[in-house]
Amino acid sequence: DAGITQSPRHKVTETGTPVTLRCHQTENHRYMYWYRQDPGHGLRLIHYSYGVKDTDKGEVSDGYSVSRSKTEDFLLTLESATSSQTSVYFCAISERVYQPQHFGDGTRLSIL
Amino acid sequence: SQELEQSPQSLIVQEGKNLTINCTSSKTLYGLYWYKQKYGEGLIFLMMLQKGGEEKSHEKITAKLDEKKQQSSLHITASQPSHAGIYLCGADMLGSGGSNYKLTFGKGTLLTVNP
């Protein structure tokens, strides 16, 4: 199994608070991704990174920011959480293009 | 509209039966990935298909990408309770440019296998 650790695994917070989710990999893979998974919508890309300090937006990036200061860590931040951001968040990594993405176990985030 | 359609949305089969899940696109698929997800867990990579007509098998699961590269099927032979879960297809629909930055995923097929 790919060495991907997401933290925290579960979080409950209130609307308007900042939230940061962490993805840590031990595979030294170049590409890292953040997805959210919601009933009826499936898996949607939020942001991705193609190297240290190189990031770009995905399909549903509004309200989210990311940072990647080291190869192994990719952070997802909700600056001011809203109830619509209640979801399960998955981090994924891939070694290069045209290679499979491997996923972490997810973070279940509830915003009340 | 959904760019990648999976069918059926859910499927209930008796243990030992064969089944097929389809993943269809209106665009050419440059890379097609099948994943399995158990409830509350992450996605497990199953197989990757890139060439039209390609077929891959792992244990009792076979995946195919049609010649036109617009549809893939996942076939399970002699299903077992361990096959139960959500099957998702993900696809690179951008092609040339060398990027799989943005995989598009289907909404998934929920498979239940009754003993």
What confidence tens digit (pLDDT) does each residue in A31-45 have? 999 999 998 888 999
Sequence-ordered list of residues with C-beta below 8 angstroms from that of B66, at least 6 positions apart, any chain: B52, B53, B72, B73
Contact flag B98-A97 (C-beta cutoff 8 Å)? yes
Residues 18-37 of A with CB under 8 A from B: 31
Determine the Cα–Cα distance for residues B44 and B37; give it in Å rounded to an integer: 6
Region B43-51: mean pLDDT is: 94
Query: In the numeric block, which tokens belong to residue A11?
Result: 């979080």
Do B17 and B114 touch, CB atoms closer than 8 A? no
- CB contacts < 8 A, A to B, total 56
Is the predicted pLDDT of residue B99 greater than 60, yes or no?
Answer: no
Taking chain A, what is the end-to-end CA distance rounded to the nearest angstrom?
34
Asked whether the beta carbons of A57 and A4 are under 8 A apart, the reply is no
pLDDT of residue A103 exceeding 50, the answer is yes
pLDDT over 90 at B101, yes or no? no
